[in-house]
Structure 1
Amino acid sequence: MADFKKELPASIIRQAEKIMAEIQKSGSMIMAVKAGARANGFVLGLQCSASITDDAAQRLQTEFDISTEIKLKELSIWAAPQH
Protein backbone atom coordinates (compact mmCIF):
# COMPACT_ATOMS: atom_id res chain seq x y z
CA MET A 1 0.00 0.00 0.00
CA ALA A 2 1.14 3.45 -0.79
CA ASP A 3 2.21 6.19 1.57
CA PHE A 4 -1.35 7.53 1.88
CA LYS A 5 -1.88 4.87 4.56
CA LYS A 6 -0.97 7.59 7.05
CA GLU A 7 -4.42 9.08 6.42
CA LEU A 8 -6.23 5.87 7.32
CA PRO A 9 -7.19 4.61 10.78
CA ALA A 10 -5.21 1.57 11.96
CA SER A 11 -8.26 -0.72 11.87
CA ILE A 12 -8.85 0.15 8.21
CA ILE A 13 -5.20 -0.39 7.35
CA ARG A 14 -5.24 -3.85 8.95
CA GLN A 15 -8.35 -4.90 7.04
CA ALA A 16 -7.06 -3.42 3.77
CA GLU A 17 -3.80 -5.34 4.17
CA LYS A 18 -5.73 -8.57 4.78
CA ILE A 19 -7.76 -8.03 1.62
CA MET A 20 -4.62 -7.16 -0.35
CA ALA A 21 -2.94 -10.35 0.87
CA GLU A 22 -6.03 -12.32 -0.17
CA ILE A 23 -5.77 -10.86 -3.68
CA GLN A 24 -2.05 -11.57 -3.92
CA LYS A 25 -2.36 -15.15 -2.66
CA SER A 26 -5.27 -16.10 -4.91
CA GLY A 27 -4.68 -19.46 -6.54
CA SER A 28 -7.19 -19.09 -9.35
CA MET A 29 -8.67 -16.38 -11.50
CA ILE A 30 -12.06 -16.89 -9.84
CA MET A 31 -10.57 -16.38 -6.38
CA ALA A 32 -8.70 -13.28 -7.54
CA VAL A 33 -11.88 -11.78 -9.00
CA LYS A 34 -13.78 -12.56 -5.79
CA ALA A 35 -11.07 -10.94 -3.68
CA GLY A 36 -11.10 -7.92 -5.98
CA ALA A 37 -14.87 -7.65 -5.62
CA ARG A 38 -14.52 -7.90 -1.84
CA ALA A 39 -11.99 -5.07 -1.96
CA ASN A 40 -14.40 -2.97 -4.01
CA GLY A 41 -17.19 -3.56 -1.48
CA PHE A 42 -14.85 -2.69 1.36
CA VAL A 43 -13.93 0.64 -0.22
CA LEU A 44 -17.55 1.45 -1.07
CA GLY A 45 -18.57 0.71 2.52
CA LEU A 46 -15.87 2.99 3.87
CA GLN A 47 -16.84 5.71 1.44
CA CYS A 48 -20.59 5.44 2.14
CA SER A 49 -20.04 5.54 5.88
CA ALA A 50 -17.75 8.57 5.49
CA SER A 51 -14.98 6.66 7.26
CA ILE A 52 -12.45 7.92 4.73
CA THR A 53 -12.30 10.82 2.30
CA ASP A 54 -13.24 10.41 -1.34
CA ASP A 55 -9.59 10.93 -2.31
CA ALA A 56 -8.41 8.22 0.08
CA ALA A 57 -11.12 5.90 -1.22
CA GLN A 58 -10.02 6.49 -4.80
CA ARG A 59 -6.36 5.82 -3.97
CA LEU A 60 -7.23 2.69 -1.98
CA GLN A 61 -9.44 1.41 -4.81
CA THR A 62 -6.65 2.05 -7.29
CA GLU A 63 -4.21 0.02 -5.15
CA PHE A 64 -6.67 -2.89 -5.03
CA ASP A 65 -7.39 -2.67 -8.77
CA ILE A 66 -3.72 -2.68 -9.69
CA SER A 67 -3.02 -5.64 -7.43
CA THR A 68 -5.99 -7.58 -8.81
CA GLU A 69 -4.96 -6.85 -12.39
CA ILE A 70 -1.39 -8.00 -11.74
CA LYS A 71 -2.60 -11.21 -10.11
CA LEU A 72 -5.02 -11.96 -12.95
CA LYS A 73 -2.22 -11.47 -15.49
CA GLU A 74 0.03 -13.84 -13.51
CA LEU A 75 -2.69 -16.46 -13.34
CA SER A 76 -3.57 -16.13 -17.03
CA ILE A 77 0.08 -16.66 -18.01
CA TRP A 78 0.18 -19.77 -15.83
CA ALA A 79 -3.03 -21.07 -17.41
CA ALA A 80 -1.87 -20.44 -20.98
CA PRO A 81 -0.93 -23.60 -22.88
CA GLN A 82 2.80 -24.10 -23.26
CA HIS A 83 3.87 -24.83 -26.87
Structure 2
Amino acid sequence: MKTTIKYKGIEFDVEFDYQPEEKQVRFDSNNTGYPGCAAEIGSIYVITHNGTDFLEFFENDMKEIRKAIWKALEERE
Protein backbone atom coordinates (compact mmCIF):
# COMPACT_ATOMS: atom_id res chain seq x y z
CA MET A 1 0.00 0.00 0.00
CA LYS A 2 1.14 3.58 -0.56
CA THR A 3 0.33 6.80 1.25
CA THR A 4 1.82 10.21 1.95
CA ILE A 5 2.67 11.10 5.53
CA LYS A 6 3.74 14.29 7.20
CA TYR A 7 6.66 13.78 9.60
CA LYS A 8 8.33 16.72 11.35
CA GLY A 9 6.66 19.07 8.86
CA ILE A 10 7.92 17.28 5.74
CA GLU A 11 5.86 15.09 3.40
CA PHE A 12 7.14 11.60 2.64
CA ASP A 13 5.75 8.92 0.34
CA VAL A 14 5.62 5.57 2.12
CA GLU A 15 5.14 2.02 0.80
CA PHE A 16 4.17 -0.64 3.32
CA ASP A 17 2.19 -3.82 3.97
CA TYR A 18 -1.30 -3.29 5.36
CA GLN A 19 -3.70 -5.89 6.74
CA PRO A 20 -7.23 -4.47 7.12
CA GLU A 21 -9.38 -5.25 10.13
CA GLU A 22 -11.24 -8.56 10.08
CA LYS A 23 -14.57 -8.43 11.87
CA GLN A 24 -15.52 -10.85 14.61
CA VAL A 25 -17.87 -13.70 13.64
CA ARG A 26 -19.88 -15.02 16.55
CA PHE A 27 -21.01 -18.30 14.98
CA ASP A 28 -20.72 -19.78 11.52
CA SER A 29 -22.36 -22.87 9.97
CA ASN A 30 -20.08 -25.21 11.97
CA ASN A 31 -21.20 -23.52 15.18
CA THR A 32 -17.74 -22.01 15.62
CA GLY A 33 -16.74 -18.37 15.60
CA TYR A 34 -13.80 -16.21 14.69
CA PRO A 35 -12.42 -13.58 17.06
CA GLY A 36 -11.39 -11.26 14.23
CA CYS A 37 -8.21 -9.21 14.20
CA ALA A 38 -7.25 -5.57 14.28
CA ALA A 39 -5.87 -3.71 11.28
CA GLU A 40 -2.09 -3.87 11.10
CA ILE A 41 0.77 -2.09 9.38
CA GLY A 42 3.41 -4.66 8.52
CA SER A 43 6.75 -4.08 6.86
CA ILE A 44 7.66 -0.61 5.65
CA TYR A 45 9.62 -0.84 2.39
CA VAL A 46 10.17 2.71 1.15
CA ILE A 47 10.12 6.19 2.67
CA THR A 48 10.88 8.77 -0.01
CA HIS A 49 11.06 12.54 -0.29
CA ASN A 50 11.64 14.11 -3.72
CA GLY A 51 12.65 10.70 -5.08
CA THR A 52 15.29 9.97 -2.42
CA ASP A 53 14.77 6.94 -0.17
CA PHE A 54 15.19 7.72 3.55
CA LEU A 55 14.21 4.29 4.93
CA GLU A 56 17.57 3.60 6.60
CA PHE A 57 17.65 7.14 8.00
CA PHE A 58 14.39 6.47 9.89
CA GLU A 59 15.16 2.97 11.20
CA ASN A 60 15.18 4.25 14.83
CA ASP A 61 11.95 6.22 14.31
CA MET A 62 9.68 3.46 12.99
CA LYS A 63 7.23 3.79 15.89
CA GLU A 64 6.67 7.45 14.98
CA ILE A 65 6.52 6.64 11.26
CA ARG A 66 3.81 4.03 11.95
CA LYS A 67 1.84 6.63 13.94
CA ALA A 68 2.09 9.02 10.99
CA ILE A 69 0.89 6.26 8.63
CA TRP A 70 -2.13 5.52 10.87
CA LYS A 71 -2.95 9.24 10.91
CA ALA A 72 -2.73 9.45 7.11
CA LEU A 73 -4.96 6.38 6.72
CA GLU A 74 -7.55 7.82 9.12
CA GLU A 75 -7.60 11.10 7.19
CA ARG A 76 -8.38 9.17 3.97
CA GLU A 77 -11.62 7.81 5.41
Structure ranking higher on relative contact order (CA contacts 8 Å, 6+ apart): 1
Bigger proportion of residues as helix: 1
Structure showing greater Rg: 2
- Judge same fold: TM > 0.5, yes or no: no
TM-score for the superposition, normalised by structure 2: 0.32
TM-score for the superposition, normalised by structure 1: 0.30
